[in-house]
Structures are given as structure tokens and as C-alpha cells.
Amino acid sequence: MMIRLLLIIAGLFVAAPATAQLPHESAAGKAEPAAAQTQVIISSTLPALLQDNLLHLDLSTGGRVSVLLRPDVAPKHVERIKLLVRRGFYDGLLFHRVIDGFMAQTGDPKGTGEGGSELPDLAAEFNELPHVRGAVSMARTEEPNSANSQFFIMFQPLLRLDRTYTVFGRVIAGMQWVDAIERGEPPATPSRVLQASIAADNKAPPVFAAPKPTVDPVAGEAAKLLQPAPKP
């Protein structure tokens, strides 16, 4: 029954919005922002049974990312992620390898791509889940059975990774915060996982920094043109 529910929920959100190495390629009275409303909808619509398979990643880019975990296809990997999350392992870790148009990788306490947890490496659980936008998959070395704690989130599809890396979940909300992760190998000013939690544990998100105001250069030039000409 649990597997069937997971598949149904995953289908509902499939249109929404993915050394360990990868191949080189609300205040009262104020309306909540759309992202916050989305989180409320997700929390209220998922059955209680599935709350234990919903991963929240609160990012320094400004918001909460929700990942639907898939224990039906990668049970050992999901078990590992949940164990490390509940130990606070991911809290404060940076995205140390972020390639534009490809993926953002985190989960290394050293921040170099060479680290992992003290737990033993995992046997591969390659499956049929595709490496599409928002897919969450485990990083590893050239050895298939070397995944440990590092994972990556796909910006864009790269299906040639299918069945060679273990996909264990998919972003179902907050992909805009993934898109905002600082690029680089390593990034000059890395983005971080401020807090990772499982929805069933009901951890409130941290207070996010106010987003930086965006500047539209075209609008700025247009405003200059509309200013009255100085009097002679």
C-alpha cells in the first residue's frame, strides 16, 4: 500500500519543476508568499505515512526544498539519507560542486568532494527513475558500490546517467532555491544546506535572509529616458 501511495504522489508532482565524482559534462495579517503556500499544501495533502518519506532541505539561497523520497526503488539509500538527516549530518554543509546546466552536489563534511560519513559505503540500487530536472541521486566514485553521503540535484535532464547512479528522490517543491545555488567547482561563495529534516519530525525552517532586490538594467535605462530634460 505504501509503495502504491508513493507512486501516486510522485505522479501528481511529476510536472513540478536533481573523492566522489560525477561525469564531467508569516507575519500575522500578511499574505504568505507562494512558496510558503506551496509548502502548506504539500504538508496537508500528503498522507501521514508519507511524511516520513518527505525530505526538507532549507537552503541558504532563501527557502525550503521538498524532496519526495522513494524507498520503493532505493530502500537502503533512503534509509541512509534519513539516518544522516536525523543525526544532523547535513546541517551546514556546502554545495561544493555545482555545474550550470547539470547538477548541484553536496553531502561532504570536508567540502572538497573527498569526504563522507563514518558509515560504510552502500551497495548500488540502480533503478528506472530517470535523471530529469529535480531528480536527486547519490554521488559515488568510479566504483559502483561507493555511495555514502554525497548526493546531487539535477538542474537539467541527463539521461545517460540512468541506471549508473542511484536516484532516490525528486524535488516536488522549492526548485527555485536549487536554481539559485552558487555555481563553481568549487564555488567562490558556496551555498549551503542550513538544515535538513524529515517532514514527520516537524522541524520548523530557519529564518531565511531577505532576498536581494533584483535590478532590471533595461527598466533602469528606460526610467532615465523618461526623466524630464533639464531646463536651460
- Give the CB-side neighbour count of residue 231, counting CA atoms within 13 A: 0
Distance between CA atoms of residues 203 and 218, nearest Å: 42
Q: Where are the alpha helices (DSSP H) in 18-74?
A: 34-45, 48-51
The predicted pLDDT at position 195 comes to: 98
Report in angstroms the alpha-carbon separations of 170 from 6, 136, 213, 216.
12, 5, 29, 32
Query: For residue 43, which of 172, 209, 179 has the smallest C-alpha distance?
Result: 172
The predicted pLDDT at position 47 comes to: 61
| CATH homologous superfamily of 2-20+33-206 | Cyclophilin-like (2.40.100.10)
The pLDDT profile of the chain, 232 residues, written as one tens digit per residue, is: 444 545 444 444 444 443 455 544 444 444 444 444 445 445 555 566 689 999 999 999 999 999 999 999 999 999 999 999 999 999 999 999 999 999 999 999 999 999 999 999 999 999 999 999 999 999 999 999 999 999 999 999 999 999 999 999 999 999 999 999 999 999 999 999 999 999 999 999 999 977 666 666 676 676 667 766 666 6
The predicted pLDDT at position 26 comes to: 41
The answer to whether the CB of 67 falls within 8 A of the CB of 169 is: yes
Bond before 186 cis per omega within 30 degrees: yes
Task: Please provide residue 43's backbone torsions phi and psi, each rounded to the nearest 5 degrees.
Answer: -65, -35
The predicted pLDDT at position 46 comes to: 58
Strand partners, 187: 184
Report in angstroms the alpha-carbon separations of 139 from 20, 83, 102, 116, 146.
6, 17, 13, 10, 8
Q: Where are the alpha helices (DSSP H) in the chain?
A: 2-12, 34-45, 48-51, 75-86, 175-179, 217-226
The predicted pLDDT at position 25 comes to: 46
Distance between CA atoms of residues 29 and 27, nearest Å: 6
How much is the pTM?
0.77
13 Cβ contact list (under 8 Å, min separation 6): 68, 170, 172, 173
The predicted pLDDT at position 215 comes to: 63
Distance between CA atoms of residues 80 and 146, nearest Å: 13
